[in-house]
Structure 1
Amino acid sequence: MKTELRKTLGFYSCFSVAVGLVVASSTLVSLGQGMGLAGGGFVFAMATAWILQLFSAQSYSELACMMPHAGGLRSYTKVAMGALPAMAAVILAYVIPNMVAAPAELAVAGAVITETFTPGIPPIVWGGLLLIVLTVTNVIGVDIFAKLQILFTLTMMISMALLGIIGLTGIGTLPAPVLPEQPFNPMGMGVFGLTALAIWLYIGIEFVTPMAQETKKPEKNIPKAMFYGLLAIFCVNLVYGYASLKYVPAEQLASSNHPHVDMALAMLGRPGMIWIAIVSIFASASTINTVIGVVPRMLYGMAVSRELPRVFRSIHPRFHTPWIGILFMAGAMGLFFFGGIHKAPNLIIYILAACCSWLFAYIIAHMDVIILRRRYPKHKRPYKTPFHPIPQILGSLGMGYAIVNIAPVPEMESTIFRLVAIMVTGTLLYVVLWLRFVVKEPMFRPMDIQAAQEEWGLVEKELYKNGIPATFVINPGCGPNCGATNPKPAAVSTNE
């Protein structure tokens, strides 16, 4: 029985996955609040965050094309730094934060649907229904996931661009109100303290990299998808953000849980509210679709390396998807959502706590590139970061600055860091106990890259039968249950 992951994703699918997590309802909230706090000067924080994420995209592109494995960051880090940093990176940066941030997306979508279309139905009903539908479609297959992602992404990006243009040109059905005059950058140099808030506008662009095993020509499509995705996101957010300042008072933008809805309502009235509500719903659906589609592939990669229970290695015999991981992530997100996040008065705190935890992943990715360049200088790299190691060094320093300045206002700081401390403590506790008592592996011994690629099924593996060497080709992207096939004469190892 074949249980391998299939190569079905082209450039547009990769672009949609890269953008799909980034352009979310929560990013529309952070965009509006950033514009409200810093006025037009928020563009400086946006540009700084864009450059930092471009550096991150470069590092992730090199790593993903060098080791195209579904484990993503965990795979690269295990070869660079060992099991403990590898496990902690994925759990702390992708699994736990998305258990918090994704339910926040469900909460925003549910609230928008209730307020706009069905005042008599609680938001929790719509959020739960959205979660169920996207869980089922992701179990059915990656091709359906990709088609939905393209639909969600195009709808979001085109609609936001049009709404922003309508607002800036003043051709909406309602005239722009006369708002109190505000300086372009009231925060001065302090605007760079909002870099962490601005990074949330681009965070998750690397979510396409764990799909490398299912991507056609990953060395071309993955770097292009992330670069053009970042460029499109910056332009669309810039237009929509400045249009928001034209129609909504800065104080309202800074304090609202749905500033994007406030802007559309002020510009186009009820039709605008309905339009942006649809965009917001698609944005949340895109984010949930991406999380449920990508994180389980990271869990699958960890299970292949015995860093999670074997059950996460299960590939659906018919749909060829990591269905156990999909159900696990959906269940965890549902637990947090129904457990109370949908009632939270200020969702930005949970978003920034997830962001702070996530930023560690970018620092680790930069470190991976530097270490692997030194340890395996001759290894094949289909994509190489230009000007190495400058992007890695500047990117790491920038992410560290963003972590220290994660809170946009002092009142949020203690709550955000308390949530992050819980995430870090829980992650390290699990990883240490698992490595020490379950698999009994060294915590900081890097895995040899040849052994890693053989384990993942990315290279030819030389075996011996009756004392005669023979090479058994392992299919790239092979699932955990597929074995060695096609015996042929011994070949030279692909590791340089």
Structure 2
Amino acid sequence: MSGRTELKRELGLFEVTLSGVGIILGAGIYALIGKAAELAGNSVWIAFALAALIAIFTGLSYAELSSIFPRASAEYEYTDRAFGKRLAFVVGWLIIFSGVIGASTVALGFGGYFEALTGAPILPSAVLLILLLSVVLLWGVKLSAWFAIVFTLIETAGLLIVIYVGIPHLGSVDYLQMPGGLTGVFEAAALIFFAYMGFEEMVKLSEETRDPERNMPLALIAALAITIILYILVALSVVSVVPWEVLAASSAPFAEVAAEALGPEAFVVISAIALFATANTVLLMLLAASRIAYGMAEAASLPTVLGRVHPGRRTPMAAIVAVTLLSIAFAFSGEIAFVASANDFILFLTFIVINGSLIALRRRDPDRPRPFRVPLAVGWVPVLPVLGILTCLFLILHLDGAAILLGSGLAAAGGVIALARRRRAG
């Protein structure tokens, strides 16, 4: 064993589960439900259920792979084991940019809520948020996790308020009304998948989790179950209280629902809760992006300087600084619905590879111990990862064309760099 400083294992099942719930909840549901309602109408809950299905298929693959390879480099490690370093680099590259772009966009969402409450300009507020949260990340993963837990409890309270105010109104509308038909529901599912983004980020905490082979799969499944139930209940509630046309036109749909049911004071309360929700998502996206950058540097696929760990705090300081600077740069542009779609495209590509990695490793390395194993198989072929690949391909067809172009450009750039690195190494 070398004398390098390792990450500190401080997180148990509770902290990892709550961190997972925190990163899955947040900006997606708070910011995108209006746009999803515009596409799906009162059937927006079906869009959430469809997106949940894709999350379950791929989430179980992550659970098995994280139990076999509990590494911070996560997707990079899984893909490397199954298909080699070239494709692994592209996947890791995409995941880093997904976290960076997502964090900067959600920070702008925070700035929008903050402007509505205080009048402060959006961009400086977004940049200041990213800088403050980077200090939290540099301080230590335990502090970051507890920040995430507190913020998660607050944002979950916001969702519970929305569900509560919707209960008296349940059954008041036709929940199968689809103004855009099934195509609109599918497009809403492709967009709203951004709201489930986060379960894949949890596995980046494997090297800072105690007994990760057991705790990571359990935490991942628990976090997904909690958020799926909350999302579908919220989707049913909002269209019961406020017409979907009003939600579609609002920049603060949850606050609109609260104001309609509880009065104008509730608008301020829900908007304040939305600040915690967006801040929490930014914190956890920065955390996850810095961890995979650190893991890839450890594997010598990114500059080794990104693998530097602070000797006292034992946090990947260089990776955190790099991710912070990139996020600030991307904060100068971005519209949340468009960038959410671009992020979804990146994630769908990644999930196709991850599900493929599980299938390949079942074939090539069937005897490797698997503390968690995805159920259902035909022969050696696991059924759910195959369904994960097919459903990801299906939803890609329903994404915005410009978002697909941006995601494809980032993937192509990663491929070019991977080829150049290979030639230099060879």
Shared fold, TM over 0.5: yes
**Shift of residue 365, structure 1, vs aligned partner:** 1.0
Distance (whole Å) between structure 2 residues aligned to residue 278 and residue 140 of structure 1: 26
Instruction: Name the larger-Rg structure.
Output: 1
Which residue of the partner structure matches residue 264 of structure 2? 270
Which residue of the partner structure matches residue 155 of structure 2? 156
**Shift of residue 357, structure 1, vs aligned partner:** 1.2
Which residue of the partner structure matches residue 204 of structure 1? 198
Count residues with an aligned counterpart.
Answer: 418
- RMSD across aligned positions (CA): 2.1
Q: Is the 8 A contact 2:61 2:385 kept in 1?
A: yes
Structure 1, gaps ≥5 residues long: 172-178, 408-412, 441-496
**For structure 1, which segment, 156-165 or 359-368, has the greater mean C-alpha deviation from structure 2 after superposition?**
156-165
Distance (whole Å) between structure 2 residues aligned to residue 169 and residue 13 of structure 1: 34
Q: Is the 8 A contact 1:161 1:239 kept in 2?
A: no
Distance (whole Å) between structure 2 residues aligned to residue 295 and residue 420 of structure 1: 17
2:347 is the alignment partner of 1:348: no
The structure in which a higher percent of residues are helix is: 2
**For structure 1, which segment, 398-407 or 427-436, has the greater mean C-alpha deviation from structure 2 after superposition?**
427-436
2:401 is the alignment partner of 1:402: no
**Shift of residue 306, structure 1, vs aligned partner:** 1.3
**Shift of residue 124, structure 1, vs aligned partner:** 1.9
**Shift of residue 418, structure 1, vs aligned partner:** 2.6
Q: Is the 8 A contact 1:19 1:229 kept in 2?
A: yes
Note the 1:10-89 alignment, pairs <5 A.
Answer: 10-89=12-91
Note the 1:205-224 alignment, pairs <5 A.
Answer: 205-224=199-218
Q: Is the 8 A contact 2:298 2:307 kept in 1?
A: yes
Secondary structure (helix, strand or coil) at the match of 1:386 reads coil
Which residue of the partner structure matches residue 368 of structure 2? 379
Q: Is the 8 A contact 2:113 2:271 kept in 1?
A: yes
**Shift of residue 360, structure 1, vs aligned partner:** 1.1
AA partner of residue 387 (structure 2): L
Which of 420, 423, 431 is 2:410 aligned to? 423
Distance (whole Å) between structure 2 residues aligned to residue 218 and residue 433 of structure 1: 35
Distance (whole Å) between structure 2 residues aligned to residue 183 and residue 237 of structure 1: 17
Which residue of the partner structure matches residue 471 of structure 1? none
Q: Is the 8 A contact 2:34 2:249 kept in 1?
A: no
**For structure 1, which segment, 181-190 or 269-278, has the greater mean C-alpha deviation from structure 2 after superposition?**
181-190
Note the 1:180-195 alignment, pairs <5 A.
Answer: 184-190=177-183, 191-195=185-189
Distance (whole Å) between structure 2 residues aligned to residue 201 and residue 417 of structure 1: 18
Q: Is the 8 A contact 1:315 1:323 kept in 2?
A: yes
Which residue of the partner structure matches residue 123 of structure 1? 122
**For structure 1, which segment, 323-332 or 94-103, has the greater mean C-alpha deviation from structure 2 after superposition?**
94-103
AA partner of residue 296 (structure 1): S
Distance (whole Å) between structure 2 residues aligned to residue 264 and residue 107 of structure 1: 23
Which residue of the partner structure matches residue 240 of structure 1? 234
The CA deviation string for residues 246-276 of structure 1, in whole angstroms up to 9 with x for no partner, is 3333223224443223323333333212221
Distance (whole Å) between structure 1 residues aligned to residue 169 and residue 136 of structure 2: 40
Which residue of the partner structure matches residue 310 of structure 1? 304
Which of 323, 326, 332 is 1:329 aligned to? 323
Q: Is the 8 A contact 1:31 1:237 kept in 2?
A: no
Which residue of the partner structure matches residue 133 of structure 2? 134
Which residue of the partner structure matches residue 367 of structure 1? 356
**Shift of residue 182, structure 1, vs aligned partner:** 8.6
TM-score (norm 2): 0.92
- % same residue: 26
The CA deviation string for residues 135-164 of structure 1, in whole angstroms up to 9 with x for no partner, is 001001111011111111111112211222
Distance (whole Å) between structure 1 residues aligned to residue 359 and residue 237 of structure 2: 41
Structure 2, gaps ≥5 residues long: none
**For structure 1, which segment, 136-145 or 230-239, has the greater mean C-alpha deviation from structure 2 after superposition?**
230-239
Distance (whole Å) between structure 2 residues aligned to residue 196 and residue 32 of structure 1: 14
Distance (whole Å) between structure 2 residues aligned to residue 260 and residue 426 of structure 1: 38
2:100 is the alignment partner of 1:99: yes
2:283 is the alignment partner of 1:289: yes
**Shift of residue 168, structure 1, vs aligned partner:** 2.8
Note the 1:108-119 alignment, pairs <5 A.
Answer: 108-116=109-117, 118-119=118-119
